[in-house]
Amino acid sequence: MGVVSHSSERAALAYDRLGSGDPLLLLHGLGGERHVWEPVLAPLAEHRTLIVPDLPGFGASPALPSALTPSPPLLASVVADLLDELGLGAPDVAGNSLGGWVALELALRGRARSVTALCPAGFWSRPLGPRRDTARRAARALRPLLPLLTHVGPVRRAALASTVAHPERVPPRAAARMIGAYADAPGFVAANAAMRAGRFARIADVRVPVTLAWGERDRLVKPPRALPLGVTSLLLPDCGHLPMWDDPGLVTQVILTAAERAAAA
């Protein structure tokens, strides 16, 4: 499987492009970067051309200017610029956590043929407000030791327990990268504050097929009590907030099934 890495000048986003077939855009969550999709890239690339960017201020993408608030709608605008550069009108989009919210914002702009949101942010009943992030401070303090610490099973389990139901399924190298991305992201503080200050209240306005998939063991977000007719909501058994690591086969099936349903429609 070949991977071609690019840097978008206009959108200032780093991204990978791989696979063949109809385009599928993958959007990572808060504190992550594009490699969080690693377990599902190969099976998805057998069916689709994958566009996998780092959101602004995460991974290899620079943060937005400090005068701009990186709210989910603004992040969607930046991703739409990347789609323009690539000549893509409205690809199928899958997003995790904050990336799921951004995917829905893209759909509101007419820039998604379908949306699959895995454990999406924004469906809380009211804005969450600020929160002290002691876990990130700890990750930053331990940053130089991560390549060693993640080889210790109990340490890896403790570090990933809030996001992955089965930390033992995450290899040490991948765990170090995930924790390091969380610790290093220059855009984390601003994006976290913007995300927690709002909520996604326009699901009824989305006019493309939407699948919301929730981790049964997700400690961070929960399904809303009610959703509009036509929105598919399903549970991912024995999965946490990053279900692509807990059950990559199931996540691949959910994403492809949703996209194929949209294509048939």
Q: Is residue 146 part of a domain?
A: no
Average pLDDT over residues 85-103: 97
State yes or no: pLDDT of 84 exceeds 90. yes
Percentage, residues of the chain above pLDDT 70:
96
Asked if the structure places residue 21 within a domain, the reply is yes
242 pLDDT more than 90: yes
Of residues 137 and 184, the one with the higher pLDDT is 184
Q: What is the per-residue pLDDT for 263? A: 77
Contact between 191 and 57 under an 8 Å Cβ cutoff? The reply is yes
Average pLDDT over residues 70-89: 96
- Look over the chain and give the mean of its residue pLDDT values, rounded to a whole number: 92
Range(s) of the domain holding residue 18: 3-131+188-264
DSSP 143: G
115 closest CA partner among 248, 230, 238, 243: 230
| Domain contains 180 | no
What pLDDT was estimated at residue 90?
A: 97
The answer to whether residues 41 and 33 touch, using CB atoms and an 8 Å cutoff, is no
Residue 144 falls inside a structural domain: no
161 is a domain residue? no
pLDDT for res 71: 97
Residue 162 lies in a domain: no
Name the range with the highest mean pLDDT among 10-14, 116-120, 152-156.
116-120
For the sheet with 23-27, list strands across it: 3-7, 14-19, 49-53, 23-27, 92-96, 114-118, 210-215, 232-236
The pTM of this model reads 0.94
Residue 122, domain member (yes or no): yes
Please indicate whether residue 152 or residue 7 has the higher confidence score (pLDDT). Answer: 152
Report whether pLDDT(10) > 60: no
Report the C-alpha gap between 114 and 91 in whole angstroms.
7
More confident residue, 75 or 147: 75
Number of domains in the chain: 1
Give the pLDDT band of residue 137 (cuts 50, 70, 90).
confident
Q: Which residue has the tokens 């049964």?
A: 216
Percent of the chain with pLDDT over 90: 81
Query: Tens digits of per-residue pLDDT, 158-175?
Result: 999 999 999 999 999 999
CATH number for position 71: 3.40.50.1820
Is residue 152 situated within a structural domain? no
- pLDDT, tens digit, for every residue of 183-224? 999 999 999 999 999 999 999 999 999 999 999 999 999 999
Confidence of residue 146 (pLDDT cuts 50, 70, 90): confident
Beta bridge partner(s), residue 117: 95, 212
Both structure tokens of 49: 């051309």
Q: Give the tokens for residue 59.
A: 């991974």
pLDDT higher than 90, residue 238: yes
pLDDT band at 2 (very low <50, low <70, confident <90, very high): very low
- Phi-psi category of residue 63: left, alpha or beta, with phi > 0 → left and psi -120 to 50 → alpha: beta
pLDDT of residue 105: 98
